[in-house]
Structure 1
């Protein structure tokens, strides 16, 4: 009797599934390639910020993808990339095993390539420069934030994912690569031949700046929010105070971001109490990070930002500005307010998935908008050796603001 009931139940269930168009394959019947695809689908289904999945029936997307005859791992990767493309989110992407390992290196250690942080323009999909890394071949060639990379060695970049573009620019030290670059300022298009080089990711440059008849200033330039950035900034603050610094200038220009946690921890070095950042997930639930009473100094602080200041740089700048801890000087920031998490796949590949967006302490959503400085100062392109010198107009304006604050503080 029990067996008959089961048979009747199956006879009812199967036609219903056929009517609905859901040819669901049970997990135990999946091939290895289908399992990898299904694993990727589940990660996005569970974690992706937009619960409408860009207006798609995400279950139906899976059912269409799972029916494809996946004969190799490469075909599986192509199917996953096609599935993710429907989200219209360049930051949610598949990372093949080699790409995944390279991305993990980018937050600590060394890189070999031209030294560009890149993103896809959310409006038109063009490959856009976030910033060149200090001292890199791209920096030496004069490539600027928001320039467009139209081709890499003649290959059109619209046909490439972010990671494929990055892979084409990486390579053996001393080998050439030709980038076709469209200037963000003049729309001039030119081919630039760059020689790949080894790029050391040293995140902090610190120096005591002295002026005639003025108090000394601790200048800290933070290049990237890498794993060791918090310790390096903390060391710089303490060392500069011991040298006599009575005020600080924190330079976040052309800092493309990095680790969210590093941005939060560095904010805590400057802020004793108050919110640092809020995170908003797909349910609209606010999480967040607060100061922990661990600030190393309450000395006057000014922060330099520009169009290359992105992501974790904007978290830090927004926290300092909204808490009244610092004034911002320079140009409007890049405007990347989305948070990605990395997820391992069982074959050594990974997924970068947009899981949340962030808001500043005043609940400002800066994604695509950026943060406007308290004092806007434009600047021409400078060589790295000119940063923090008389030729650096933004730096000079920041020093003027900072020293006026210091005088007021001493008078009070």
Structure 2
């Protein structure tokens, strides 16, 4: 019996040792990952957990991870390359990796606010010099008299020649109330040093004007360039102001609006709707979420929405909601057809990852991905300059004016 017990104990010990070796063999690769490999694995996990298509473009997603990690990654650049290669297998241009510079830039664009001097800048490709595109309205830069084409030679005494665009922008941003000195060169005036006090800069995506139709009807013209965190509040303010000025109808221009924050698109739709569905969302489990309008709308006045091939994403959610609820007529061209929703994830090294997590459907359950939304009145447009938008040269705008005028006359308001 003792012999049998000893044999059983030895077999049990051997089994534990073998199991331990097996377990270590299974765990060790994860524990032994380099920082670069850990970043690749982090991206893989997020996609594995969140991506809309549970087939991962009809491929073995675990095998994609294994292939991405089979070779050493010597540096950050190699890791970024491996991530981009891994994501490319999904064949989804909207699920994408953002390096730290791109991620910070996207955050600034969608936050609707930053602190700094309020300059839009560019590196002139001919001269390589840092130039002002335009100062933001009401910013410290505008108040100090900076103008388009001004060249920024130095920031706080540091030459801008060796700085990237992002580095220059970062040096001009800073806490509210702090000072920054710029050395400016202006054509025909030489060099000049300007000290600016940093302040909060609001990025207003709304252009609002009270105009008249050919029949003299007051029309509120609203152009929305993107859906950042300020979009709904700024548009609400603009509508309220135009209502007080006597607007009898509205044109909402969403042409070349690429979208932005999903929630901003929903909030803007609610400004126009008393009730009804705004959008349905469908995730990879097929679970359908519904977003409703709860009113009251800011105005009941007639509305025409201008759309074109550059109208995408959150803009299409808005256009679809207004069309399906019979709140507005759409004029222009069939929209882009981006019916997918992305979520943004911050990665451990400060980079970012945009992942397609759901798709949306309009209130009438139209799946518009790759199809777009067809306007009620299709009006092709020849290319026009920015200055010609909303003028006599703008055929789509003129068609919207005519449509509103007809509707108001029929309603007895003309």
TM-score, normalised with respect to structure 1: 0.73
Q: Could you say what secondary structure the match of 1:220 adopts? A: strand
Q: How has the CA–CA distance of structure 1 residues 217 and 411 changed in structure 2, closer, same or farther, with 3 Å as cutoff?
A: closer
Task: Supply the distance in 2 between the matched residues of 1:10 and 1:92 (Cα, whole angstroms).
Answer: 44
Deviation at 1:251, TM superposition (A): 0.9
Q: Residue 80 of structure 1 aligns with which residue?
A: 83
Q: How has the CA–CA distance of structure 1 residues 13 and 381 changed in structure 2, closer, same or farther, with 3 Å as cutoff?
A: same
Q: Residue 45 of structure 1 aligns with which residue?
A: 48
Q: Residue 335 of structure 2 aligns with which residue?
A: 333
The structure with the largest alpha-carbon Rg is 2
Q: How has the CA–CA distance of structure 1 residues 399 and 70 changed in structure 2, closer, same or farther, with 3 Å as cutoff?
A: same
Matches within 5 A, 1:188-337: 202-211=204-213, 213-337=215-339
Q: How has the CA–CA distance of structure 1 residues 391 and 2 changed in structure 2, closer, same or farther, with 3 Å as cutoff?
A: farther
Answering whether residue 101 of structure 2 is matched by residue 98 of structure 1, we say yes
Q: How has the CA–CA distance of structure 1 residues 385 and 25 changed in structure 2, closer, same or farther, with 3 Å as cutoff?
A: same
Could you report, residue by residue, the CA deviation over 1:333-355 in whole angstroms, capped at 9, with x for unpaired residues? 11111111111111111111111
Q: How has the CA–CA distance of structure 1 residues 395 and 50 changed in structure 2, closer, same or farther, with 3 Å as cutoff?
A: same
Q: How has the CA–CA distance of structure 1 residues 6 and 216 changed in structure 2, closer, same or farther, with 3 Å as cutoff?
A: farther
| Residue segments in structure 2 that go unaligned for 5+ positions in a row | 1-7, 114-118, 124-132, 135-163, 170-201
Q: Could you say what secondary structure the match of 1:61 adopts? A: helix
| Residue segments in structure 1 that go unaligned for 5+ positions in a row | 115-134, 137-167, 174-199
Q: Residue 348 of structure 2 aligns with which residue?
A: 346
Deviation at 1:257, TM superposition (A): 1.1
Deviation at 1:214, TM superposition (A): 3.9
Task: Supply the distance in 1 between the matched residues of 2:60 and 2:235 (Cα, whole angstroms).
Answer: 46
Partner residue of 2:358 out of 356, 375, 381: 356
Partner residue of 2:15 out of 8, 26, 32: 8
Q: How has the CA–CA distance of structure 1 residues 61 and 288 changed in structure 2, closer, same or farther, with 3 Å as cutoff?
A: same
Q: How has the CA–CA distance of structure 1 residues 95 and 111 changed in structure 2, closer, same or farther, with 3 Å as cutoff?
A: farther
Task: Supply the distance in 2 between the matched residues of 1:289 and 1:259 (Cα, whole angstroms).
Answer: 15
Q: Could you say what secondary structure the match of 1:234 adopts? A: helix
Q: How has the CA–CA distance of structure 1 residues 5 and 217 changed in structure 2, closer, same or farther, with 3 Å as cutoff?
A: farther
Deviation at 1:202, TM superposition (A): 3.4
